[in-house]
Structure 1
């Protein structure tokens, strides 16, 4: 872990000054960072693959306290493109064909899972229960487009092959409220050599009240990490 921290460079000495520099830029009003929150579907191209992601206007406009994830954030495709491309994680052996990765707060799109799953051993996408159905739909609808084990069929099908779906799992998890003590059993992380290699959280912090539970989840992930 110390080797990974060294690759990230010098730590931030003054968080307040760093935050001021980052957030003092002008941000267009009425723009929360969505690609297009009004569209029922958005078309996204990542790494030469075309994805069609279904959104939920109902979730976005709901007043539920548990969350309102329902659209694709602009940063998600950018992060997915980066994490799946050659970077310092893959260069130094932290990310590769034997990696077991878990994503906290995957949202409805599954874009990071769809992009990174072909490059790792197993990818577990998690989110709250109200998100899982649409998350599964988007993964299933787009899996044929990322299946690299067989030639791409000219006819699009919504039924992915067992080969293409094997590396992606979905799991209901509210890391703010639910205990994560049962995760090892749910994920099948038992026995010698079992564990997580990578914990991903993209666009999960939009309120300071989420920092502590997210940190606790990361600490739990650290204990599950394979040495």
Structure 2
């Protein structure tokens, strides 16, 4: 069994939201009721690992070693609580949507079509297979989790966020970069070249770039975005827990739509994965309505048992 994509339109949005929040209510005793901050400490430890059942269920599964990831992440609780910063401060901490998504994508059997090329689905894998694949992350925040766990499986990974986030993001990526085991990391931003790497080992170009949704209007003219158009066949635009108030919805959707259309026009197979932490019901409803009605995005809900037991709702475009 693999996850199912349920197409959404204006008629089905309300049913989808009603069903999702009704299920959340039934699971309330087992779910955290906070806003979704993973942990309120300046330094946190995070393990993203194969579940025990996956590691021990039969010989065949046991022989296929799945890499665990163990992160040390430096947050800024003071930055989160600051009222003097004109930019968004939510990116200064890790929110729970990202590790939930990473855990599901890396290890859940239902997510296999996003890890491996298969003839049984027309969904391109996020992980690079026979075609060169890139991930562009919008609103990366400072934690640097997805650049490591996904960057180790793709040809290009581009993190984007506001200027004030980038140095802290760079620090956390560098602190955890040794967990790049499948590939060799090259990066202009991190000053990593290929002079000493094993030529038999594939490379990932990992870059970090400032991108403010309110100011973004030049599509893919910036160098890291252009390089993806020139060197890749498939691009996934990924964003985790970036929609939490009305103000952000239009700038985010405008940026997402510009990037998506630009890559589609360049001939790249282009898809998006958007993860939302389910807080205010009206915010999710407005986001979906605008995505469909104003931006004409072919949005689907990812229906999956693991995700449905969390506060994360995943959408595929």
Provide TM-score, normalisation by structure 2.
0.58
Q: Which residue of 1 aligns with 2:212?
A: 174
Q: Which residue of 1 aligns with 2:285?
A: none
Q: CA RMSD in A?
A: 2.9
Distance in 2 of aligned mates of 1:166 and 1:198: 15
1:136–1:180 CA distance, 2 compared to 1 (3 A): farther
Where does the alignment leave 5 or more consecutive residues of structure 2 unmatched? 50-67, 118-122, 185-189, 198-202, 270-317
Distance in 2 of aligned mates of 1:189 and 1:83: 27
Q: Which residue of 2 aligns with 1:68?
A: 89
**Secondary structure, counterpart of 2:257 in structure 1:** helix
1:119–1:130 CA distance, 2 compared to 1 (3 A): same
Q: Which has the higher contact order (CA 8 A, sep 6+)?
A: 2
* Structure 1 residue 17 displacement after superposition: 3.8
8 Å contact kept, 2:219–2:258: no
**Secondary structure, counterpart of 2:259 in structure 1:** helix
Q: Which residue of 2 aligns with 1:95?
A: 126
8 Å contact kept, 1:196–1:221: no
1:199–1:192 CA distance, 2 compared to 1 (3 A): closer
Specify the structure having the higher radius of gyration (Cα).
2
8 Å contact kept, 2:142–2:165: yes
8 Å contact kept, 2:152–2:204: no
* Structure 1 residue 28 displacement after superposition: 5.9
Q: Which residue of 2 aligns with 1:185?
A: 222
1:32 aligns with 2:18: no
Q: Which has the higher strand share?
A: 2
* Structure 1 residue 179 displacement after superposition: 2.0
**Secondary structure, counterpart of 1:19 in structure 2:** helix
* Structure 1 residue 210 displacement after superposition: 1.5
1:57 aligns with 2:77: yes
**Secondary structure, counterpart of 2:114 in structure 1:** helix
Distance in 1 of aligned mates of 2:230 and 2:205: 20
8 Å contact kept, 1:125–1:169: yes
- Number of residues of Structure 1 aligned to a counterpart in Structure 2: 210
* Structure 1 residue 114 displacement after superposition: 1.1
